[in-house]
Amino acid sequence: MRSFILNVKPKENHERKLFTILTARIIAEDSAIVQQEFVTQFVTKFRGRVIQFDGSTFIATFEGPSKAVHCTLKC
């Protein structure tokens, strides 16, 4: 197995992708506390990734603009 792994030559990947950055502010009721896990799960449904979260705002990246737009429309 070791010799197989050492002899494998990975393919170079020059595929271009269009990433979209989304910044959003979370507006919740007075007593509601938004959990980071909830935001992360929601963004992940739309093939996104949360890169920053501070409780009232978050920044996420998506694999294209349509996924970012669909995520914001489903909130």
pLDDT (tens digit per residue) in 15-33: 777 889 999 988 877 556 6
* 11 part of a folded domain: no
Q: What percent of the chain has pLDDT over 90?
A: 36
Most confident of 34-38, 44-48, 52-56, 71-75: 44-48
Across 53-57, average pLDDT:
87
Task: Tell me what the mean pLDDT of segment 50-56 comes to.
Answer: 90
The answer to whether residue 1 is domain-embedded is no
**Is position 2 within any domain?**
no
Burial class (CB in 10 A: 0-12, 13-18, 19+), 41: exposed
Domain-embedded: residue 62: yes
Domain that holds residue 66: 16-73
| Paired tokens of 74 | 């489903």
Return the pLDDT at 53.
Answer: 92
Q: By the 8 A CB rule, do 43 and 50 touch?
A: yes
The domain total for the chain is 1
